Chain A
Amino acid sequence: MSRLWSDVTPRTSPQARARAAIAPLDPGAFGPDEARHLLLRVGFGGSPVQVRLVAEWGLDRAIEYFLNPGEANFRDDTPPREIRDSVMAEPNPEQRQAYRRAAARGDEDALARLRAMIQERQREDRQQARAIQRWWLTRMIESPAALQEKMTLFWHGHFATNYRAIENSWHMLMQNRLFRAHALGSFAELMHAIIRDPAMLAYLDNHRSRRGNPNENLARELMELFALGVGNYTERDIREGARALTGYTFNNNEFTFNPRQHDRGSKQILGARGNLDGDAFVRAILAQRSCASFIAAKLYRFFVAPLPEHWDDRRDPGATPEVRAYVHAMADTLRRSRYQLAPVLREVFRSAHFYADEARGELIKSPAELLVGSIRQLLTPTRDLNTLLDAMDLMGQNPLFPPSVAGWPGGRWWINTNTLFTRQNAAAYLLTGRLAGQRQPRPADSYDPAPIVQTLAREDERAAREPEALADQLLRFMLGRRPPEAAATIASFIAEHGGVRNAQGVTGAILLITAMPEYQLC
């Protein structure tokens, strides 16, 4: 490591370089373009009015608003009453006995009836999972605490658990609320909580892990995917970690520790020794230097810019010294704050690097960012939530159904020829209410671009009169850039279709911009 650094700047310490790399933006440099960028990254984008407001607030006030969602009135995430905790409740002793008796008698009819009952409950639970998806999507669309929802999505992708594998919607909901509660709290606390989370325990088979015959799934992923990354632990750490986690299980909706299944023997994990339990295992993980670097890199990818696939801030020469120093600084802040998230995120959102040209428009919108972002930025009607969820599935991000325990790879993984059409058509659906391949009557809820146009005209009053000026403002607002040829095409489209005051013509122009490849960037 020292060699890499010394190649670049022989006289400064890594710490000094790290601080320099994450140095804050000059407050005077925070204008509408920066406000737009911050809104996109910190949440799901904002309308022109919100962009103006955030620009007026200035950098620090804006960041504190997002970091302190307590001030926003969306803290309560109690689910709607129709979502019940008992759909998949385990059978009570009488039901169990009835089943045993039927099986002993060989009463096939009774067994078939009991199986049909279970199937009916599973069907009901799948519907409830759908209701939970709608509830969460609505929060993403409506919550003023956008960063809280965005971090909830981040943790869902990080500690990925798939409903299909656990078939218990209430457990998915509990996990979702856990992520929200810790969204801007402490990663360390979240790690201690996740080894008690029924959805996670079921997903990674820890509820079936027994003393003498431990299941290694959770122990492995805690280190490989959740906290350290490949190469920062040994197979022995996995085996001993699995022993430490034996007995961590749940009963219905409650975490329980089963002392009879817990292995009390001496263990050695990541340098820690003794009769270690799950919490001691987690503490050993958090004590690793690689842990903060691992989380820092993941946050960098999510909020700032892409990094090479198996990136490591000490070893990988793929990133520039500036980026290495930046992630290094993030990791330092995480360590110093004992894994509190607010300090490191504050530093990121304030940093000049975050607003640099090279970071803007370098991330690919996830399907959630694309859909929720279109609604929030363009003020389109929300339309039908089930249709939006279907579209998210087609685009590769079905909430509560991540593709694997590694979550959504993100970045270029989102984009292929098929998802690109789906993305364009989903934006078209929000603007027009029309779905590909369906002839529907004109929807009652038609889109009105006037509020967007009026606010953009406050940036440049000519936008209220001249197609060229409006095209410029629309491109700048929707893409963060203004490709000259595109500006000319959009301007002439507006001019040929009734001018800047014609709602249909302006909607058409907005629709054309949503179909541009750059609209997928944020």
Chain B
Amino acid sequence: MSLHNNPSEAKAYTRRAFTLGSLALASASVVAPAFLQRSAVALEAAMGGRGSTPGVPEDRVLVVLQLSGGNDGLNTVVPFGEAGYYNARPRIAVPEREVLRFGRGADGLGLHPRLADVKAMYDDGLVGVIQGVGYPNPNRSHFKSMDIWHTANTNATGTGWLGRYVDNECAGSPEEDAGRAPSVAIGRTAPLAMQGRQVQPVAFENANLFRWLGEDLHDALAEPHQRLAERAPVRDHAHADGHGHHHAETTADFLVRTALDARISSDLIRNAVAQRPLVEYPRTRLAQQMSMIASMIRAGLKTRVYYVSLGGFDTHAQQGGAQGRHGQLLAEFGGAVRAFYNDLKAQGNDTRVLTVSFSEFGRRVGQNASNGTDHGTAAPMFLFGPMARAGVIGEHPSLRDLEDGDLKHLIDFRSVYAGVLERWMRTDSREVLGRSFRVLPVTRRG
């Protein structure tokens, strides 16, 4: 045999669909090993064959969109009504005539011209702009500040806030978790925000790589591989053995279960993503990643939280004004989100999905010598979706009352998290955030 030929993708999917079907059937049989039964049940649940779990919010989905590198908030939501803005940024300010004005109720404010897609959504009542979001004693290290946002802890330590949410709401017995993928990150690794103590996030960058490569090498490997994977753990020795394990299952059992989880979620996700989206997406990386999320939602995955990132916002030099590098990133951001909601609307799923965007910090008010901006503090967050609270939320931070040349934050980001948890995910935010924060309403009234 040769290990170097390539079976077609389509064939692999058909085979998978078939074998998964028969795996589900096995659950009815008394002879199936217990762990196979468990996985068959989990599979059924994951495919939408079972009703909702009591206590878990119906079928609401949260998408977190991270803008990495520190998005320049002042050139995103532009305070064109303030002379201070133009004085601080002689070479990179967005000219007043090019700003996409919010209009009534938000005088002197508008969006960067390359955010036309976001403006169109705003006009349709699908966008909320939360101004001046930050935290006390801002940290200007990308690394630290990102960890602060991810852990929801100004010490930047501990588990991720979304991980804790998923642990609280979705952690059941291992059999219930199998293949459910309660949280999915598009990326090489799952972000700290999604790392909890119990339920593991699923992370992948390219759904086609989220599987065993052996299948590419030769057809003949697939069938024995499956037989090797789908078998009861070998060594079932007593768990309370001489080594005093505190885990309910042995290490070998844990691995067999995770391998099975991986195979089930891999199949579910790859089947979902293989569908053609209902609308055209821009040809950008972010848009393609958001189209994968839309496809997973459409396929009925039980995933509650999706995470996606767009990098490149660390614009220390030549960031441009109305045009240029920063504007290009904003265009990619807006184009992807708009196509995503068009797709969700065509699916009939748009009201189920709230999207929240953030960046680890904004940038300094004054431009630097390289026509860029250095690490700053408070910045706007965006809410998207028909159920999001629409309009401009809060006051724009003052350009006159600065702290060491930086904006002072007006809304703590954990109030936004609390709002998302309480109003959208319908959970007790104190359980997840460790203490009580003012709950910022992030959804429409009623």
Residue positions of A touching B, CB distance < 8 A: 108-109, 111-112, 115, 164-165, 305-309, 318-320, 322-323, 353, 356-359, 361-364, 393-394, 396, 404, 412, 415-418, 420-421, 424-425, 428-429, 432, 434-437, 439, 442, 481, 483, 485-486, 489-490, 492-493, 496-498, 502, 504-505, 507-508, 511-512, 515-518, 520-521
B246 within 8 Å of A (CB atoms): yes
Task: Report yes or no: B255 in contact with A364, Cβ–Cβ below 8 A.
Answer: yes
Query: Of A319, A356, A357, A404, which contacts B244 at CB under 8 A?
Result: A319
Q: A418-B202, A483-B231 are in contact. Are A511 and B214 (CB under 8 A)?
A: yes
Taking the complex as formed, is B373 at the interface, i.e. its CB lies under 8 A from any CB of chain A? no
**Which of A308, A504, A516 interacts with B229 by CB under 8 Å?**
A516
Contact with A362, one of B243, B262, B265, B266 (Cβ below 8 angstroms): B243
Q: Count B-side interface residues using an 8 Å CB cutoff.
A: 61
Whether the pair A306, B245 counts as a contact (CB closer than 8 A) is: yes
A sample of 24 cross-chain residue pairs with beta-carbon separation below 8 angstroms, ordered by A number, consists of A165-B143, A353-B242, A356-B242, A358-B242, A359-B243, A412-B251, A415-B254, A416-B201, A416-B202, A417-B258, A417-B261, A421-B210, A421-B266, A428-B213, A432-B4, A436-B213, A437-B208, A489-B228, A490-B224, A492-B224, A496-B220, A517-B229, A520-B255, A521-B255
Residue contact B252 to A518, C-beta cutoff 8 Å: yes
Closest B residue to A324 by beta carbon equals B244
Of all chain B residues, the one with the shortest Cβ separation from A428 is B213
- Are B213 and A425 interface neighbours, CB within 8 A? yes
Contact of A112 among B1, B209, B255, B369 (CB under 8 A): B369
A319: chain B residues at CB < 8 Å are: 243-244
- Tell me what chain B mostly uses at the interface: helix, strand, loop, or mixed: loop
Question: Does B234 belong to the interface (CB within 8 Å)?
Answer: yes
B143, B181, B212, B231 interface centre (most CB from chain A within 10 Å): B212
Q: A364-B255, A497-B220, A520-B255 are in contact. Are A164 and B190 (CB under 8 A)?
A: no
A482, chain B: closest CB distance, angstroms: 9
A517 touches B242 (CB 8 A): no
Query: Given A418-B202, A421-B211, A439-B6, A361 and B252 touching (CB < 8 A)?
Result: yes
Interface, chain B (partner A; CB < 8 A):
1-4, 6, 143, 157, 181, 188-190, 200-204, 206, 208-214, 216-218, 220-221, 224-225, 227-229, 231, 233-235, 237, 240-247, 250-252, 254-256, 258-259, 261-262, 265-266, 369-370
Partner of A508, one of B220, B227, B237, B243: B220
Contacts A358-B237, A425-B212, A493-B224; A420 near B258 (Cβ below 8 A)? yes
CA distance A302 to B202 in the complex (A): 27
Residues of A within 8 A of B221 (CB): 508, 511-512
- A515 contacts B3, CB within 8 Å? no
Instruction: Name the contact of A318 in the complex, choosing from B216, B225, B246 (C-beta under 8 A).
Output: B246
Which B residues are in CB contact (< 8 Å) with A496?
A: 220
B245 near A511 (CB under 8 angstroms)? Answer: no
**Cβ contact of B3, chosen from A320, A363, A508, cutoff 8 A:** A508
**Cβ distance A414 to chain B, nearest Cβ, rounded Å:** 10
Name the one of A363, A429, A437 contacting B206, with C-beta atoms under 8 angstroms.
A437
**For A490, what are the chain B residues with a Cβ–Cβ distance below 8 Å?**
224, 228
Q: Is the CB of A308 within 8 A of B255?
A: no
Residue contact A394 to B189, C-beta cutoff 8 Å: yes
A358 touches B241 (CB 8 A): yes
With A481-B235, A521-B251 already in contact, the answer to whether A306 and B1 are too (CB < 8 A) is: no
Chain B residues with Cβ below 8 Å from A115 are 370
Q: Is the CB of B213 within 8 A of A418?
A: no
Residue of B nearest to A492 (CB): B224
- Please give me the residue from chain A that is nearest to B192 by CB atom: A403
Q: Which residues of B contact A357 (CB under 8 A)?
A: 237
Q: Is the CB of A517 within 8 A of B256?
A: yes
With the chains together, A291 CA to B143 CA distance in Å? 32
Across the interface, which residues of A come within 8 angstroms of B240, CB to CB? 320
Which residue from A109, A318, A415 sits with its C-beta under 8 Å from B258?
A: A415
CB contact between A517 and one of B202, B217, B246, B252 (< 8 Å): that residue: B252
Q: Once the chains bind, are B258 and A416 in contact (CB under 8 Å)?
A: yes
Distance from B206 Cβ to chain A, minimum over Cβ atoms (Å): 6
Write the nearest CB–CB distance from A110 to chain B, whole angstroms. Answer: 10
With A306-B243, A512-B224, A518-B252 in contact, do A421 and B212 touch (Cβ < 8 Å)? yes
* B224-A308 in contact (CB<8A): no
Nearest neighbor of B144 in chain A, beta-carbon distance: A165
Question: How far apart are B55's CB and chain A's nearest CB, in angstroms?
Answer: 25
Q: Could you say which of B3, B231, B250 contacts A511, with CB atoms under 8 Å apart?
A: B3
Cβ contacts under 8 Å, A507 to chain B: 3
Q: Which chain A residues lie closer than 8 Å to B216 at the CB level? A: 434, 436
Please tell me if the beta carbons of B370 and A420 are within 8 angstroms of each other in the complex.
Answer: no
Partner pick for A521 among B190, B241, B252, CB 8 A cutoff: B252
Q: Is the CB of B210 within 8 A of A418?
A: yes
Extra contacts, 13 of them, besides A306-B245, A436-B209, A508-B221 (Cβ < 8 A), are: A111-B369, A358-B241, A362-B250, A412-B247, A416-B258, A420-B259, A425-B212, A434-B217, A504-B2, A511-B3, A512-B221, A515-B229, A517-B229
Least distance between A70 CB and chain B CB atoms (Å): 34
Residues of B within 8 A of A322 (CB): 242
CA distance A483 to B227 in the complex (A): 12
What is the CA–CA distance of A359 and B244 in the complex, to the nearest angstrom? 11
Q: Are B255 and A415 in contact (CB under 8 A)?
A: yes
A493 to B234, CA, bound (A): 20
- Output the least CB separation between A360 and chain B (Å): 9
B255 with A515: CB separation less than 8 A: no
CB of B314, distance to nearest CB on chain A (Å)? 12
Cβ of B246: which chain A residues have Cβ within 8 Å of it? 308-309, 318
Min CB gap B257→A, angstroms: 9
A512–B228 Cα distance when bound, in Å, is 8
- Whether B234 lies near A481 (C-beta < 8 A) is yes
Task: Give the docked Cα–Cα distance between A521 and B237 (Å).
Answer: 15
Q: Is the CB of B224 within 8 A of A358?
A: no
- Contact assessment for A418 and B189 in the assembled complex, using a CB-CB cutoff below 8 Å: yes
Query: A505 CA to B218 CA in the complex, in Å?
Result: 11
Chain B residue with the shortest CB-CB distance to A433: B4
Assembly CA distance A508 to B235 (angstroms): 25
Q: Give the complex CA separation of A194 and B244 in angstroms.
A: 34
CA of A416 to CA of B188 in the docked complex: distance in angstroms? 13
Query: Do B251 and A362 touch across chains, with their CB atoms under 8 A apart?
Result: yes
Cβ A434 vs Cβ B244 within 8 A: no
B212 touches A320 (CB 8 A): no
Chain B residue nearest to A488 in the complex (CB): B227
> B4, A442: Cβ atoms under 8 Å?
yes
Given contacts A362-B251, A481-B234, contact A323 B201 (CB under 8 A): no
Distance in angstroms between the alpha carbons of A435 and B247 in the assembled complex: 35
Please name all residues of chain B whose beta carbon is closer than 8 Å to the beta carbon of A508 when the two chains form the complex: 1, 3, 218, 220-221
Q: List chain A residues, Cβ under 8 A from B250.
A: 362
Q: Contact check, B243 vs A305: say whether CB atoms are below 8 A apart.
A: yes
Residues of B with C-beta under 8 A to A305: 243
A517-B1 contact in complex given A164-B143, A418-B210, A489-B228, C-beta closer than 8 Å: no
Query: Closest residue to A320 on the B side, CB-wise?
Result: B244
By Cβ-Cβ distance, the 6 closest A-B pairs, closest first, are: A108-B369, A319-B244, A417-B262, A517-B255, A320-B244, A483-B234
Most buried by B among A308, A502, A515: A515
**Shortest distance in angstroms between B321's beta carbon and chain A's nearest beta carbon?**
18
Distance in Å from the Cβ of B420 to the closest Cβ of chain A? 24
| Cβ contact within 8 Å between A518 and B237 | no
The distance from the CB of A506 to the nearest CB of chain B, in whole angstroms, is 11
Distance between Cα atoms of A492 and B228 in the complex (Å)? 12
- The CA-CA distance from A444 to B229 in the complex, in Å, is 31
Give the CA-CA distance A309 to B244 in the complex, in Å.
12
Q: Please, which residue of chain B has its CB at the minimum distance from the CB of A395?
A: B189
Q: Which of B201, B213, B243, B262 contacts A320 (CB 8 A)?
A: B243
B202, B213, B228, B237: which contacts A417 (Cβ < 8 A)? B202
In contact, B259 and A517 (Cβ under 8 angstroms): yes
Q: Which residue of B lies closest to A361 (CB)?
A: B252
- Report the bound CA distance from A319 to B242 in whole Å: 8
B244 A318 Cβ-Cβ under 8 A: yes
| B3 and A504 contacting across the interface, CB-CB below 8 Å | yes
Give complex CA distance A418, B184 in Å: 11
